[in-house]
Amino acid sequence: MERVKVEAVTYAYRTKYQTIQALTEVSCTFEAAKMYAVVGESGSGKSTLLSLLAGLDLPAEGDILVEGESLRKMNRDHYRRDVVSVVYQAFHLFPLLTALENVSYPMELKGMGKKQARERARQLIAQVGLGDKICRQFPRMMSGGEQQRVAIARALASEGKILLADEPTGNLDTENEQNIVDILKKAAHDRGYTVIVITHNPEVAKEADCVYRMRDGRLEREERGA
Amino acid sequence: MMILCKSLLRMRRTPVRTVLFFLLVAMAAALLSTGGGLWKMCRDNMIYFESLFQTIATVEQKPVRIVKEQAWDWEKEKYTTYNSKEYGETIPLSVLDFEGADYISGPETRAWYAAYVPDYLVLDRNAGVSNAMVVEVSPVEDGIPAGPLKVEIKNMLYSYYPYNSPTFYFCDHDNPSPEMMYADKTYILCLWDGLRHGWRGSDPGPNEFVPWREIWSTQAAADGTQIPHTLSGHYMAEVTPGFYETKEGRQWQALAEELEMGYWKSVPVTATGNTNLIPMFYEGNTFLEQGRGFIPEDYSEGRKVCLVSRRFARRNEMKVGDILHLPLRYANYAESANVGGEGKLTADGEVYQVFEDGYWEICGIYDVVPGARTKGWAYQLDENEIFIPKTSIEHDDGGNIAAAGCMKGYTTSFEIPNGTIDHWKSLWEEQGIDGLEITFYDKGYSVLEDGIKRMKRMALILLVAGAVSAVCILIFFCHMFITKQSTRTAIERSLGLSKGQCTASLLSGILLIVLCGCILGSAAGYYGSETAAGQITQVERFDRQYSAGALYTTEDVEETTYMLVGNWQVGAVTGSLVAVLAAGIALTMIHKSLRKEPLALLSGREE
Ligand SMILES: Nc1ncnc2c1ncn2[C@@H]1O[C@H](COP(=O)(O)OP(=O)(O)OP(=O)(O)O)[C@@H](O)[C@H]1O
Ligand SMILES: [Mg+2]
């Protein structure tokens, strides 16, 4: 079942001095209950694609359809809150909130009771392999790997059907990496999420059901085993 | 709710920044509210003082020179010299009406009117009275009255002199060459017991009477110029058969009649456009014993109301609300009401007839402050003096002006707005009119005004400083809390917060701090301006001193004293202004930071 359809999307960053063409006519589809990997060189436009999928901006040209509906016509606030969840390359945790507060934030935002949200957040933090003592720490006191996993926990907390992760294992050791990959795979296969993972790591890419390769802002499907 | 909690949580986790913001906002609010409070206080005080203070000026024509005059004295048998002021041409009141002169009331030259009131008690029965008489006498023996000459009373035309002797002594005291008086002739004289020769301390001796009034007229036309007359000017005349058929005889009768009406049966009624123009009232030498003073409507509508002296009211058992019948006979624009002005005849040598027969209601009873000091006797009030609004006289007094002369400090004055003395003076100098002496009185208003102006300036500085610092502080901290936190906002957006929610999240915390700061600061400012008010109370005591006896303010003073405390409304206003300003600045910044899509901020490149 086709959940996300990207149709000839083009996107450019415009600064005062230059325009950087980040995506050029990217088309692809993502189905439910599958895990995708997007690979490619640094600067090829992976994160940009992910951001557009996350609804942080609209493509300059082309369109993104989610379950047949265009992002352009959707209330993107609701889309971001209820449909999609993201693990950013730079984590983007709230610096003034503790790990626990960061993770429970999306749940509280959706109206869950504070106590319940905390309870669930604790579970998620444990699930991504972090100890209980991390809960009360602020992001700036955590290691990169810890921050990354808190960010994953937060993404899982929002329970969006589309889970986007930008280098979710970049800072992790193999053991933790495998744990995260398992979590993501489970989310796709057991709970029907569409999981899209950007990665440099061939090990991670190997675990995906499907791999896309980004090259200079263009996307192509990578054949299995190649 | 959750958003607000998170916002506050964040504030709590940056305590230094938050507290600093709070304190600085409080400081700015305090500055503003102190400045505002002080400013308001100054303004209120100016208004208050404005109602309490009046600036008036009295106008007096300067004599062109002082001349030495001589008078013969039969007692010393030589001339005595005395100084006499000589005035040039009378300067009309209209010279004060020039372009740019802004009068609150006046300028006016007040007249007092002789009201013939035979039904009222004008003098105490046993008061020392003027021992004047108009009498026909014959000398007991022929003689020259160059010294006491015994004369026999033939016919008394006018007298209240309690004499019990058929004879008295007459001396033509000031006349260096008196004529022989014959025992077989009858003379008519107007005399008073000048007690000149006869005055020997406790030695009774013969009482000497000397000439007093002559047959004369000072009647003036409506424009103030003397009306020429042909009266004899005599203070003595021979009474021959048929004398009272003659012109002069009738004039002597008129003089007697006039004296009879005047001294015992008349009261002076002073008409004014504003009692404050009368120095005795202005200086607070009078106070209201009962009833009220004149109010603006009394003047503007020409209400028939009057202020009477306590003594006159007591003597006649009058109270506020009683109606007085005051037939006005003549006007006197030249002299003070307390001189009496008896014996005024018209240019035709007749008695003045009533020109205004009206009724006035007593609205207030005034009294003179015991021991009140004035500029001179002419400024004092007559003990029966009645005051009426000038506009309440319905008929023109132009045909009944018994005396007019140049402007005097006690007849002529005007009121100008407080604080405009210098302005008036400079305009007056441009008129180039010499010969008037203008004396200003402002009860120390100028001094007060200076002080208050200085304070107002201080208040303004505080206000400006407060405003500038408020703007700076708010911009800086809004920048810290909003623009500097655009990443946080972007994350919130990426988690699905709408723009509205983000705004609420950012604004709530800032506004809460600002509000707390404003409340604290304004409260501090309120006390600040109250402390500053302490300085004013000194000033206030000063003005109460001045107004203690003033006609209208005996009660008002107590009431208005507490105008001088600071008021919390100003703090509330300045506080709200700061809050509104904060909201404005914050919203502008939030709007700016939300305009961008969150992608750019989150796309992996840190700013
Ligand atoms: N905020 C931005 N402003 C301007 N240019 C940007 C911005 N973010 C990315 N770019 C540019 O857009 C292009 C694509 O960037 P993007 O972050 O999508 O690459 P990437 O494939 O995710 O790289 P990496 O593997 O290093 O994360 C790059 O050339 C990059 O320089
Ligand atoms: Mg990237």
| Domain match, B105 and B155 both | no
| Average pLDDT in chain B | 83
CB B46 within 8 A of CB B450: no
The DSSP code for B207 is P
Distance CA B36, CA B573 (A): 9
Residue B558 has pLDDT above 50, yes or no: no
State residue B447's pLDDT score.
Answer: 79
Mutate to test the pocket of ligand 1, among A10, A44, A201 (most ligand atoms within 8 A of CB): A44
Domain that holds residue B596: 2-53+445-602
List chain A residues with CB under 8 Å of B604: 47, 88-90, 166
At B341, the pLDDT band (50, 70, 90 cuts) reads low
Helix (H) or strand (E) holding B325, with range, is: strand B323-332
Mean pLDDT to the nearest integer, B206-229: 85
Q: Tell me whether strands A34-40 and A194-198 are parallel, antiparallel or unpaired.
A: parallel
Secondary structure (H, E, C), A145-177: HHHHHHHHHHHHHCCCCEEEEECCCCCCCHHHH
B420 and B470 both lie in a single domain? no
Note whether B522 and B396 are same-domain residues.
no
What's the pLDDT at B607?
36
Residues B427 and B280 grouped into a single domain: yes
Cβ-Cβ contacts under 8 Å, B491 against chain A: 92-94
What separation in Å is there between the alpha carbon of A89 and the centre of ligand 2? 6
| Weakest-pLDDT range from A67-76, A217-226, B380-389, B588-597 | A217-226
pLDDT of residue B550: 44
Q: Which of B257, B280, B307 is the last residue of a domain?
A: B257
In a domain, B588, yes or no: yes
Is B80 among the domain residues?
no
Share of chain A above pLDDT 70, in %: 98
Query: What is the pLDDT at residue B163?
Result: 64
Determine if ligand 1 sits within 6 Å of the CB of residue A94.
Answer: no
pLDDT at res. B49: 76
Average pLDDT (B202-221) is 77
Residue among A11, A13, A169 to mutate when testing ligand 1 (max atoms within 8 A of CB): A13
- Whether B322 has a pLDDT exceeding 80, the answer reads yes
| Nearest residue to B72 (alpha-carbon basis) of B176, B146, B164 | B176
Task: Please give the pLDDT value at position B203.
Answer: 47
B274 and B209 assigned to the same domain: no
Q: Is there an atom of ligand 1 within 6 Å of A199 CB?
A: no
Task: Tell me which of B441, B459, B493 is where a domain ends.
Answer: B441
Evaluate: CB of A19 within 6 angstroms of ligand 1: no
Structurally, chain B folds into a number of domains equal to 3
Q: Give me the percent of chain A exceeding a pLDDT of 90.
A: 57
Say what the pLDDT of residue A105 is: 92
Residue B432 sits in the same domain as residue B450: no
State in Å: Cα A156 to ligand 2 middle. Answer: 20
Confidence of residue B557 (pLDDT cuts 50, 70, 90): very low
Residues B429, B457 within the same domain: no
Asked if residue B290 and residue B149 are part of one domain, the reply reads no
Q: At what angle do helices A99-109 and B2-13 cross, to 10 degrees?
A: 160
Q: Are residues B115 and B189 in the same domain?
A: no
Q: Is B266 helix (H, G, I), strand (E, B) or coil?
A: strand
Residue given tokens 């003098």 in the structure block: B123
Identify the residue with better confidence: A24 or B77. A24
Domain membership of residue B69 (yes or no) is: no
Beta-bridged to residue B366, according to DSSP, are B288, B309
B504 and chain A: CB distance < 8 Å anywhere? no
Residues 439-498 of B with CB under 8 A from A: 487-488, 490-491, 493-498
Q: Are B278 and B424 in the same domain?
A: yes
Element (H, E) at B84: strand B78-86
- Of B441, B467, B492, which one is at a domain's C-terminal end? B441
Q: What is the pLDDT of residues B57-70, one digit of tens each?
A: 889 888 888 888 88
Q: Are B341 and B431 part of one and the same domain?
A: yes
**Residue B196 pLDDT:** 62
Would you say residue B9 lies in a domain? yes
| Cβ–Cβ < 8 Å for B174, B213 | no
pLDDT of residue B357: 93
With CA atoms as reference, report the closest residue to B38 among B457, B449, B521, B445.
B457
Chain A with chain B: Cβ pairs closer than 8 A: 80
Q: Report the range of poorest mean pLDDT among B119-133, B255-269, B375-389.
A: B119-133
* Mean pLDDT comparison of B146-150, B251-255, B257-261, highest-scoring range: B251-255
- pLDDT of A165 > 90? The answer is yes
Which of A209-223, B130-144, B535-549 shows the lowest per-residue confidence on average (mean pLDDT)?
B535-549
ipTM of this complex: 0.90
Asked if the model's pLDDT at residue B551 lies above 50, the reply is no
In a domain, B351, yes or no: yes
A81 at the B interface (CB within 8 A)? Answer: yes
Average pLDDT over residues B478-503: 87
**Ligand 1 pocket member B599 (CB < 6 A):** no
Residue A113 contacts B, CB cutoff 8 Å: no
What pLDDT, on a 0 to 100 scale, did the predictor assign at position B553?
A: 40
CB contact under 8 A, B599 and A56: yes
Domain membership flag for residue B77 = no
Q: What are phi and psi of B406, to 5 degrees?
A: -80, 165
Structural domain includes residue B78: no
**Same domain, residue pair B401 and B455:** no
**pLDDT tens for residues B571-581?**
888 888 888 99
Question: What structural domains does chain A harbor?
Answer: 2-222 (3.40.50.300)
CA dihedral A68, A71, A75, A80 (to 10 degrees): 100
- B226 in a structural domain: yes
Chain CA centroid to CA A163, Å: 5
At residue B567 the predicted structure's pLDDT band, cuts being 50, 70 and 90, is: low
